[in-house]
Amino acid sequence: MIELENVAYSYGGGELLSDISLKLAAGSFHFLTGPSGAGKTTLMKLCYGALSPTSGTLRLFDKDVHTLDRDEIAQIRRRVGVVHQDCQFLDHLPVKENIALPLHVSDRSNEAETGDIDDLMHWVGLTDRAAALPPELSGGERQRAALARAVIMSPDVVLADEPTGNVDWDMSQRLLRLLIELNRMGKTVLVATHDLSLIRATKSQVQARVLRIANRRIQLAGADL
Amino acid sequence: MIELENVAYSYGGGELLSDISLKLAAGSFHFLTGPSGAGKTTLMKLCYGALSPTSGTLRLFDKDVHTLDRDEIAQIRRRVGVVHQDCQFLDHLPVKENIALPLHVSDRSNEAETGDIDDLMHWVGLTDRAAALPPELSGGERQRAALARAVIMSPDVVLADEPTGNVDWDMSQRLLRLLIELNRMGKTVLVATHDLSLIRATKSQVQARVLRIANRRIQLAGADL
Amino acid sequence: MLASRDRHADRVVPPSGFTAQLTLFAAAAMAFLAVFALALSLASGRLAARWGDELARSATIRITAPQDQQSAQVEAALRILETTKGVRTARALTDAEQQALLAPWFGADLALDTLPVPRLIEVIEDADGMDPAGLRLRLAAEVPGAVLDDHSRWRAPLVSAASRLRTLGWTSTLLIAAVMAAMVTLAANAALAANAQVISVLRLVGATDAYIAQAFIRRFTIRTLIGASAGMALGMVAVLFMPGGNDETATFLTGLGFQGWHWITPLLVPPLAALVAFLATRMAARRTLETLT
Amino acid sequence: MLASRDRHADRVVPPSGFTAQLTLFAAAAMAFLAVFALALSLASGRLAARWGDELARSATIRITAPQDQQSAQVEAALRILETTKGVRTARALTDAEQQALLAPWFGADLALDTLPVPRLIEVIEDADGMDPAGLRLRLAAEVPGAVLDDHSRWRAPLVSAASRLRTLGWTSTLLIAAVMAAMVTLAANAALAANAQVISVLRLVGATDAYIAQAFIRRFTIRTLIGASAGMALGMVAVLFMPGGNDETATFLTGLGFQGWHWITPLLVPPLAALVAFLATRMAARRTLETLT
Ligand SMILES: Nc1ncnc2c1ncn2[C@@H]1O[C@H](COP(=O)(O)OP(=O)(O)OP(=O)(O)O)[C@@H](O)[C@H]1O
Ligand SMILES: Nc1ncnc2c1ncn2[C@@H]1O[C@H](COP(=O)(O)OP(=O)(O)OP(=O)(O)O)[C@@H](O)[C@H]1O
Ligand SMILES: [Mg+2]
Ligand SMILES: [Mg+2]
């Protein structure tokens, strides 16, 4: 699905990420950790084509990102569901329409009328807030809405950047279960988080690998967790 | 410092918080927990005068909020440092100036030139990013900048809403230490968080009380933690 | 299906706000002013055309001769004029007409035959114009009492003033059109900047550039069209109720008014404004989008 | 201390962006148009005043009499006029002046004494005006050949046209001023809306309403002042280089031009625009702030 080969990235100063080689195979489940400011969000942005590597090769769905035009990137976004760390919405549309937005913009509006979206909203516990506007949501509700929006298209890849930073333990377990469910259906999942207990709790339920960014490189964190 | 007496709050639908009586005495340290959407942020907003209770009496620094005019609320904001859950900055000013902003707007610009601010930025680990603009910060860096901005005035009360949602364990310990330090200097501290291990780790260092919002009411969570 | 998609594409742009009002208002105000400037240009254009044409194409022959030879000389002059190239019509003024011309000086009760008043022949040239020098030579030879006045004394300053007036009118129209274009462009840009978050959210959930641009372009084009139509309608009503819109002298003096097919020209203002809005929004949207990945 | 605080208060508002450009441009464009409209109003005002005054205040007396009695009658008429209330000056036209008036009809080489041309007396009234009916009676009694023409035939339409022209000029000036005010207000509002986050951040860190409003008010007032000054300067240059700005006929025909102290009036445009911006921004800032706690 997503393949990085000796990828490096720099925002202009020194290199933030160097020599990253990584392969997110179809159906794999990865956690991404590392100290604040290590480059987790940056790596995720590379994975959905929001940034292009300053050197090395990055292949998304077997296409080199450097060769993609803007419309192809838009197409890829439809196959990659992203939960952003600072989740943003269309503040003038109710939560439910925001969650259905990816369907609308990719010409699958009719699916928005089926019951899937209600099931999903129920799962993330937003049924009561369906008609609220995003600025009226609590921090945790926003994150859950962002997760629902990321998976509504049942994308091939789900990238979630700190999806549980603002929710309590029970809810974060519930959200993780949703991701595990999707992973069992064959979706590739990458979750950036600093919550080690969440990683531990998940590892018992799914074959998850833990990646760690340290000193600009990526390492596989193993038994030490 | 902050006193709530039978306070209730509703955003327009049903009551979100009912019959809340609470006293944050000078020099006390409180944690606030509760499931996502329980009303933690709402309670904090009441405490810094961003919302007024729909019923009951709320006294900030011994003044009833209902009797405060807008300038008095501005004055109170200078005595209450707030870390917002969705921290916002002036996106066109560098991080350092954003952290010094409370000094500038309250006519204490000259203090911005002293070394305090550099010490503080060093403590929260933002010395390297002092000249960056807020949109160039990582999620955790934003939270740390928000905390630094909240305490730069050495306010009498510090309200922190999920100040560690996006930072790793070591950093969250470090940030908590800053709050504990302030508390030892006599400041009142209220931290909303869903991270129970953080609460546990802190309790060993300071006399902290844990408040829990459940079923629209506030309870003192005791030994069960 | 497509309709539902379009309906939704419209909804993704926030419905209103100050930038929207600004677009509407700027379009309306500028269309209103444009209609006025157009009326001024067209009215002065008409005036310029009339002065230029009529003065350039008419001349007077004055025949001063003893009373008994006058009619003979007039006839001789008219014969010459009949065979002169470039003359469309030529006729002697009637007594009543001459009396009217002289009334300011001699009073309306003047008896023409008591005065040795010269006879006047009005000459109207055709489109090609005549050769005054040649005509003068022929007249000098055959009608000694005839003096040709081709009005060049009057014509030169009036023609130049009239063409200045026309230039002024069109300059203001162009100026206002340019201001309208700039204002609509800036308003569209301001609105896009205000909606930066909308654009980036749409882009992040997989909307194509065309979809995003379309949503904004449609909104702004329609807004400008509505604003400009309202402004134009108000402008036309104002011009219509302009005092003295009928009498040509008054029209000239108040400088405004449409006539005949000119009433159609203001109708071009809203489509042109909408076209400007379309191009401006498209450019602005493209530029905004290019900064996003 | 205060200066440093002010410097910082300025910095809290983002330096630029499309709404800023919009404010600048709207102010400049509207000031430019306002200068033009002002020039038009003032020029037409002058014209209206001149026509109204001169026509209303001048009259002609035509004396038709046998050649030998003419000068006697002219003198008699002048004597009467000297004692007539409301007459400032009265004088007989010279031969040369009459010849000039008659030249279009009789040619420049006319010998006045070969014709029984009436003598003309030009009467200039003073501010109070004279009583034409009374004068007519006295003239009829003492100067049988005199006919008083008080130009009322010409005056009525011209005076009304001139006053229409003046009305039109001031209407457009007011219109443009109103458009400018609305545009600046909307631009200020749009800019405030675009800076909603800045305002709420400032409020949350303890800035008073006065501090926040001040930062925006200063910025927008200065921006409008700069924009309007630039527009005004351009407008004045344009008026100055208007073709035929000197000759009064041309000035009338091209409709524009300042004279004397009128050159000062456009200088009022930028301060007025800045005042509007000040009030608009203050109102908008207050309104925006009131929605925040
Ligand atoms: N647009 C940008 N321009 C310049 N520097 C940036 C930009 N975005 C991020 N950075 C810097 O790059 C570093 C990595 O940022 P990133 O957001 O990837 O960190 P992160 O691992 O996600 O951290 P966190 O856990 O705090 O979210 C940070 O130091 C940040 O300040
Ligand atoms: N402006 C608003 N209008 C209407 N409802 C609101 C508004 N703000 C918050 N709410 C609702 O009130 C409830 C409590 O919100 P609040 O932000 O206080 O929760 P919280 O305890 O901070 O949750 P979290 O842990 O997710 O941040 C939520 O259900 C939220 O949707
Ligand atoms: Mg991050
Ligand atoms: Mg909250």
How confident is residue C141, by pLDDT bands cut at 50, 70 and 90? Answer: confident
Q: Choose the weakest-confidence range: A13-27, D141-155, D206-220.
A: D141-155
Last residue of a domain, one of B106, B125, B154: B154
Specify the pLDDT at position A57.
Answer: 93
The more confident residue out of D155 and D21 is D21
Last residue of a domain, one of B154, B175, B208: B154
Same domain, B41 and B115: no
The predicted model gives C232-257 an average pLDDT of 63
Same domain, B92 and B128: yes
Same domain, A14 and A124: no
Same domain, B30 and B65: yes
- Given its phi and psi angles, is residue D140 left (phi above 0), alpha (psi -120 to 50 degrees) or beta? alpha
Specify the pLDDT at position C161.
Answer: 61
The predicted model gives D85-91 an average pLDDT of 83
What digits encode the pLDDT tens for the residues D247-287?
444 444 444 567 777 788 889 989 998 998 899 888 888 88
Q: Choose the weakest-confidence range: A135-149, A182-196, C164-178, D73-87.
A: C164-178
Q: Which run of H or of E encompasses B208? A: strand B208-214
What digits encode the pLDDT tens for the residues C58-103?
778 888 777 788 888 888 888 888 888 888 888 888 877 777 767 6
CB atoms within 10 A of CB D80: 19
pTM of the model: 0.80
Residue A57's contacts (CB-CB under 8 Å, 6 or more residues apart) are: A3, A4, A5, A6, A7, A64
Q: What is the CA radius of gyration of chain D?
A: 31
Bridge pairing between strands B188-192 and B29-33: parallel
**Ligand 1 pocket, residues with Cβ under 6 angstroms:** A 11, 16, 34, 36-42, 85; B 129, 132, 136-141, 166
The predicted model gives C247-258 an average pLDDT of 51
Last residue of a domain, one of A135, A154, A173: A154
How confident is residue A160, by pLDDT bands cut at 50, 70 and 90? Answer: very high
CA angle at residue B59 from B55 to B60, to 5 degrees? 130
Angstrom distance (rounded) from CA C239 to CA C253: 14
Angstrom distance (rounded) from CA B59 to CA C202: 44
**Reported ipTM:** 0.82
- Residue pair C33/A110 in contact by the 8 Å Cβ criterion: no
The more confident residue out of D14 and C230 is C230
What digits encode the pLDDT tens for the residues A23-34?
999 999 999 999
Q: Among D9, D11, D211, whose Cβ lies nearest the Cβ of B93?
A: D11
Does C12 contact A149 at a Cβ distance shorter than 8 Å? no
Does D107 contact C101 at a Cβ distance shorter than 8 Å? no
Total domain count for chain B?
A: 2
What digits encode the pLDDT tens for the residues D126-139?
777 778 888 888 88
In angstroms, what is the span from residue A166 Cα to ligand 3's centroid?
A: 14
Backbone angles phi, psi at D144, to 5 degrees: -60, -35
Same domain, A91 and A184: no
CB atoms within 10 A of CB B69: 9
The predicted model gives D226-254 an average pLDDT of 70
Specify the pLDDT at position C157.
Answer: 58
Q: Whose CA is nearest to atom 3 of ligand 2?
A: A136
The predicted model gives D191-214 an average pLDDT of 88
CATH of the domain at B21: 3.40.50.300
Angstrom distance (rounded) from CA A112 to CA A96: 10
> Nearest to residue C65, comparing CAs of C50, C76, C79?
C76
CB atoms within 10 A of CB C281: 27
> Nearest to residue A86, comparing CAs of C129, D196, B140, D79?
B140
Q: Does the beta carbon of A90 lie under 8 angstroms from any beta carbon of chain B?
A: no
Specify the pLDDT at position B133.
Answer: 94
Specify the pLDDT at position D130.
Answer: 77
DSSP D45: H
Q: Does the beta carbon of A105 lie under 8 angstroms from any beta carbon of chain C?
A: yes
Q: Choose the weakest-confidence range: A171-175, C39-43, C172-176, C270-274.
A: C39-43
How confident is residue D114, by pLDDT bands cut at 50, 70 and 90? Answer: low
What digits encode the pLDDT tens for the residues A47-74?
999 999 999 999 999 999 999 999 999 9
Q: Does the beta carbon of A160 lie under 8 angstroms from any beta carbon of chain C?
A: no
Closest-CA residue of D relative to C160 is D250
How confident is residue D164, by pLDDT bands cut at 50, 70 and 90? Answer: low
Q: Among A37, A170, A197, whose Cβ lies nearest the Cβ of B140?
A: A37
Same domain, B110 and B138: yes
The more confident residue out of C164 and C226 is C226
Q: Which ligand is nearest to the CA of A130?
A: 2
> Nearest to residue C286, comparing CAs of C239, C230, C217, C190?
C217
Q: Which residues of chain B have pLDDT under 50?
A: none
Q: Do chains A and B touch (3 or more CB pairs under 8 A)?
A: yes
> Nearest to residue C276, comparing CAs of C195, C176, C180, C174?
C180
Angstrom distance (rounded) from CA C132 to CA D15: 69
Q: Among D12, D206, D293, whose Cβ lies nearest the Cβ of B106?
A: D206
Same domain, A202 and A116: no
Specify the pLDDT at position C165.
Answer: 62
Specify the pLDDT at position B17.
Answer: 93
Contacts of B145 in chain A (CB under 8 A): none
CB atoms within 10 A of CB B220: 10
How confident is residue D100, by pLDDT bands cut at 50, 70 and 90? Answer: confident
- Residue pair B98/B104 in contact by the 8 Å Cβ criterion: no
Return the SS3 of B220: strand
Same domain, B112 and B207: no
Instruction: Supply A37's token pair.
Output: 């400011």
- Residue pair D172/D37 in contact by the 8 Å Cβ criterion: yes
Instruction: Supply B175's token pair.
Output: 């940030």
Specify the pLDDT at position C119.
Answer: 80
CA angle at residue C252 from C247 to C256, to 5 degrees? 90
- Which structural domain range is residue B122 located in? 87-154
Same domain, B182 and B75: yes
Same domain, B8 and B60: yes
In angstroms, what is the span from residue B203 Cα to ligand 3's centroid?
A: 28
Same domain, B148 and B178: no
DSSP string, D173-239: HHHHHHHHHHHHHHHHHHHHHHTHHHHHHHHHTT--HHHHHHHHHHHHHHHHHHHHHHHHHHHHHHH
Same domain, B100 and B3: no
